[in-house]
Amino acid sequence: MTTLTDLNQLDTAAFVERLGGIYEHSPWIPERAGARRPFASLAALKLALQDAVNLASEDEQLALLRAHPELAGKAAIAGELTAESTGEQAASGLDRCSPDEYAALHELNAAYNARFGFPFILAVKGPTGKGLTRQAIIATFRRRLGNQPQDEMMEGLRQVHRIAEIRLNALLGVELAFGPLVMDWAEQLGAISDDEQGLTCAYLTPAHQRSAALLADWMREAGMMVHIDAVGNVVGRYAGLDPDAKTLLTGSHYDTVRNGGKYDGRLGILLPLAIVRQLHARGERLPYHLEIIGFAEEEGVRFRSTFLGSNAVAGRFDMALLDQVDADGVTMRAAIEAAGHDPAAIPAIARDPASLLGYVEVHIEQGPVLLEQGLPLGVVTAIAGSSRYLVELEGLASHAGTTPMSMRRDAAAAAAEIVLLVEARCSQGGSLVGTVGQLAVPGGSVNVIPGRCRLSLDIRAASDAERQAAVRDIFEGIDAICARRRIVVTTELLVEAAAAPCAPRLMEQLGAAVERAGLPRFDLLSGAGHDAMAMAAITEVAMLFTRCGNGGISHNPLETMTADDADIAARVLLDFFRSHP
């Protein structure tokens, strides 16, 4: 068995030799990475190897991709693969394809090579490390064939790194203490859905209540005191040594959007749960009480309101919401009562800020930043505030053939200018982002100048001042565009949410734990809203983001992450828990 210490001490030739099987036929990768020895951790070694590839020329990267065999290709059938590839392909059953599957893979290999000029590369052991099914492999192959060449090259390289990560684990005999369990739990929880297809877990549906019960069971098994509160939050308490100590809160939401991902929200519950399970098993107590809250509702799928769970804990639950009705005419009050809870008890859920040490939330990034950076973890600086508007433009619908260009009042042309104005104003740097996500010409037709146009506006930034300045500029610009084009404009404010900055003290502690794990600290803004935003009303908050695979897609069944990323996130969080004052 090779250890990290061995690798640090070998001479260069022996180091390159020992890591020869990690990157397919490419000794230059360990050679360049080896110059950065000694490595403080496996994570640091992985990163150095990845950097060697990322800093290489495009020709070298292409050569690396081309050094990989086709899946179930001619070389595999002829037994010409490296020992590593043979083992991996066999473990996923690729050596036992049916004739139809062989034919499909053969056709896909040919089409893929013709389109991209390198073979299709997939870590067939998959995100969990346990192996993908042949059906999943073929489905992924089909989907990626549609990618743009530049994106697909990046994805190919990321798969190469994932393959290398799994091979390194095997070489060093690494046992992931948390990742596989977290992935397995997410899979089990993800199988409980309102719909037959995909994962939908909306507030207080039967699937939602079963999910809560399962989370409560797991928390109890992990050694926690558990209750489900009046809004449906699943609360697990791991008492500290000192009964008078304060409480550190962690958690996230367990509801999902329609056809959502398995890790959005749930990761932030399962990850600390795996940690508590281990602490309990070894009889280790923390100097404070730790509570994991699985928030019942964050996504706003069933009722027109979001953050029900965390708002209740923050004492900001609006009791008027109880009269809201879902699509079937069921009030929130009735839904809560039907689930066996007492709506009148909701105000009592509110926590006393004086009893809290803070709130820390782990969440999948739901974006491509960490993936692009090649980093498993990021420390969140703030949750962006947002302003959303609906803008109505009214011009004059007239004949497309007979109205001269100079005499038009075209609402869609004004909208087009506004879209570009928003893009330009929000591209000036800083954390600002601006989007026109809805754009419609109601009742438009091919031969009529658009008389009306409706568009949405979504502006977000880390600081409220930055966002408000942009909103002011954009509305001034809209007025100028509409005055020049003789368009009447009306606007409606839909949402105005203040930014929630993370506490520098907690960010420092998280960042230090990231560095102790051998990774560089990387800070990023959360463009999406999270429960931490609601919790910021009563206590200091911090968030740790984990890398999101598949190009950073979320709110989608393709949302993915790896057991290794879950594992290092858990180790960092455990370190944070232990070092937290």
Task: List contacts with Zn ion (CB under 5 A).
Answer: 264-265
Nearest-approach distance from CB 464 to Zn ion, in angstroms: 22
Nearer to Zn ion by Cβ, of 70 and 299: the residue is 299
Nearer to Zn ion by Cβ, of 179 and 265: the residue is 265
| Pairing between β-strand 488-497 and β-strand 385-394 as defined by DSSP bridges | antiparallel
Nearer to Zn ion by Cβ, of 229 and 264: the residue is 264
Q: What is the DSSP string of 190-211?
A: HT--SSSSS----TTSHHHHHH
Nearest-approach distance from CB 294 to Zn ion, in angstroms: 12
Nearest-approach distance from CB 265 to Zn ion, in angstroms: 4
Whether residue 450 is preceded by a cis peptide bond, meaning omega within 30 degrees of 0, is no
Nearer to Zn ion by Cβ, of 300 and 551: the residue is 300
Nearest-approach distance from CB 234 to Zn ion, in angstroms: 16
Nearer to Zn ion by Cβ, of 216 and 267: the residue is 267
CA distances for 292 relative to 223, 295, 431, angstroms: 12, 9, 31
| Residues in Cβ contact with 237 at an 8 Å cutoff, skipping those fewer than 6 apart | 224, 225, 226, 247, 289, 290, 291
Q: HSE-up of 303 (CA within 13 Å, CB side)? A: 25
Nearest-approach distance from CB 562 to Zn ion, in angstroms: 19
Would you state the structure tokens that stand for residue 104, as one six-digit string? 């499909």
Nearer to Zn ion by Cβ, of 205 and 310: the residue is 310
Nearest-approach distance from CB 367 to Zn ion, in angstroms: 12
- Give all strands (DSSP E) within 201-321, no chain letters: 225-228, 234-238, 247-253, 289-295
Nearest-approach distance from CB 260 to Zn ion, in angstroms: 9
Q: Which amino acid is at 441?
A: V
d(CA 369, CA 386): 20
Nearer to Zn ion by Cβ, of 234 and 415: the residue is 234
3-state secondary structure of 251: strand
Closest CA relative to residue 43, chosen from 570, 553, 488, 579: 570
Nearest-approach distance from CB 366 to Zn ion, in angstroms: 7
Nearer to Zn ion by Cβ, of 240 and 557: the residue is 557
Nearer to Zn ion by Cβ, of 334 and 528: the residue is 528
Nearest-approach distance from CB 410 to Zn ion, in angstroms: 40
d(CA 359, CA 323): 30
Nearer to Zn ion by Cβ, of 163 and 533: the residue is 533
Nearer to Zn ion by Cβ, of 383 and 461: the residue is 383
Nearer to Zn ion by Cβ, of 251 and 265: the residue is 265
Phi and psi dihedrals of 390, rounded to 5?
Answer: -110, 130
CA 170 to chain centre: 27
CA distances for 383 relative to 97, 257, 365, 422, angstroms: 47, 20, 12, 21
Nearest-approach distance from CB 530 to Zn ion, in angstroms: 6
- Give all strands (DSSP E) within 413-565, no chain letters: 433-435, 439-440, 452-461, 488-497, 500-501, 523-526, 541-546
CB 107 within 8 A of CB 145: no
Would you state the structure tokens that stand for residue 559, as one six-digit string? 């949302």
The alpha carbon dihedral of 377, 381, 382, 386 has a sign of negative
Closest CA relative to residue 272, chosen from 312, 218, 317: 218
d(CA 341, CA 123): 46
Nearest-approach distance from CB 382 to Zn ion, in angstroms: 16
- Give all strands (DSSP E) within 264-308, no chain letters: 289-295
Nearest-approach distance from CB 172 to Zn ion, in angstroms: 33
d(CA 334, CA 419): 43
Q: Which amino acid is at 499?
A: A
3-state secondary structure of 249: strand
Nearer to Zn ion by Cβ, of 14 and 495: the residue is 495
Q: Quickly list H helices, 67-133.
A: 74-77, 83-91, 99-116
Nearer to Zn ion by Cβ, of 109 and 366: the residue is 366
Nearest-approach distance from CB 545 to Zn ion, in angstroms: 11
Q: Which amino acid is at 22?
A: I
CB 221 within 8 A of CB 515: no
Nearest-approach distance from CB 63 to Zn ion, in angstroms: 40
Phi and psi dihedrals of 437, rounded to 5?
Answer: -95, -20
